[in-house]
């Protein structure tokens, strides 16, 4: 049985970790390199770093940050934000990232997924999808959730898989930062209709929410930010809870 992964997410703006609610009202959560080192020592399975202003401000994710993190952690980590070319990915992987996450650039030019997968292998390529419900339909949004598209979440997810993505990081904008739980119905549908791993993101507020997304949402991994950053949930305690619930985790 494959173990379920616990993935702290560090949203980076101006070199600091930040966290908001529904993608707005950001507050400082600490130094990303220090946080990363703590998470690696306390049982996180992977880390995700998202430079949340990189796409909006048309600048590249800082390779220096990636290099500093790689020197401090011994677990896989993914980097996203402002990635739009093979060259961008090459720099990040050379500086120590294990995987990259693409979002807006993949929607604007879907062939990018094919190019990255062919060059680096699908195991390196995560496609992040931010979506919210509009008139009962899950609609994909871009640029940190600011720009709606005409894409349906499930249609886009299937295309992403067909183009060579290794996994999908799905963030429900409706749930993000609310601490009311993950969007498990949508996650379960993604997990059922696709053959690649699905990472749940948006809505973690307590340990039961993680149990629910693994059992009801059929998620392969669960990503969270504020509950970890502000020490509301400890990863060792969370994993013990999951183990007690019969969920396979790496202890």
Average pLDDT over residues 64-85: 93
The pLDDT mean for the chain works out to 91
Looking at residue 27, what is its pLDDT?
Answer: 64
pLDDT (tens digit per residue) in 165-205: 999 999 999 998 889 999 999 999 999 999 999 999 999 99
Looking at residue 160, what is its pLDDT?
Answer: 98
Looking at residue 180, what is its pLDDT?
Answer: 96
Looking at residue 58, what is its pLDDT?
Answer: 43
Looking at residue 64, what is its pLDDT?
Answer: 85
**Nearest 5°: phi and psi at 203?**
120, -5
| Tokens representing residue 114 in the block | 């094919």
- Range with the poorest average pLDDT among 51-60, 83-92, 222-231: 51-60
Catalytic residue list contains 212: no
Catalytic residue list contains 11: yes
Looking at residue 241, what is its pLDDT?
Answer: 98
Q: What are the chain's domains?
A: 5-244 (3.20.20.70)
pLDDT (tens digit per residue) in 115-157: 999 999 999 999 999 999 999 999 999 987 789 999 999 999 9
Looking at residue 29, what is its pLDDT?
Answer: 64
Q: Provide, rounded to the nearest whole percent, the portion of the chain with pLDDT above 90.
A: 78
Q: What is the pTM of this model?
A: 0.92
Looking at residue 13, what is its pLDDT?
Answer: 82
Annotated active-site residue in 88, 130, 176, 220 = 130
Q: Under a CB-based contact definition with an 8 Å cutoff, are residues 112 and 80 in contact?
A: no
Task: Please state, in angstroms and rounded to a whole number, the distance separating the CA atoms of residues 169 and 188.
Answer: 13
């Amino acid at each position: 049985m494959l173990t379920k992964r616990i993935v702290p997410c560090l949203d980076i703006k101006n070199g600091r970790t930040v966290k908001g609610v529904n993608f707005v009202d950001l507050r400082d959560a600490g130094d990303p390199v220090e946080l990363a080192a703590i998470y690696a020592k306390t049982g996180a399975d992977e880390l995700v770093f998202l430079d949340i202003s990189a796409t909006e401000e048309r600048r590249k994710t800082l390779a220096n940050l990636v290099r500093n993190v790689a020197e401090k952690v011994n677990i896989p980590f993914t980097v996203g934000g402002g990635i739009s070319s093979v060259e961008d990915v090459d720099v990040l992987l050379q500086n120590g990232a294990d995987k990259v996450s693409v979002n807006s650039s993949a929607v604007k030019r879907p062939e990018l997924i094919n190019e990255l997968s062919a060059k680096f292998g699908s195991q390196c390529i995560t496609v992040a999808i931010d979506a919210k419900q509009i008139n009962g339909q899950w609609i994909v949004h871009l640029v940190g959730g600011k720009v709606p598209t005409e894409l349906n979440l499930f249609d886009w997810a299937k295309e992403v898989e067909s183009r060579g993505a290794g996994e999908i990081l799905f963030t429900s904008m409706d749930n993000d930062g609310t601490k009311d739980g993950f969007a498990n119905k949508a996650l379960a549908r993604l997990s059922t209709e696709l053959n690649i791993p699905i990472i749940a993101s948006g809505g973690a507020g307590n340990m039961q929410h993680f149990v629910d997304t693994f059992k009801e949402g059929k998620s392969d991994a669960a990503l969270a930010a504020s509950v970890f950053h502000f020490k509301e949930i400890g990863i060792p305690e969370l994993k013990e809870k999951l183990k007690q619930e019969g969920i396979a985790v790496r202890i």
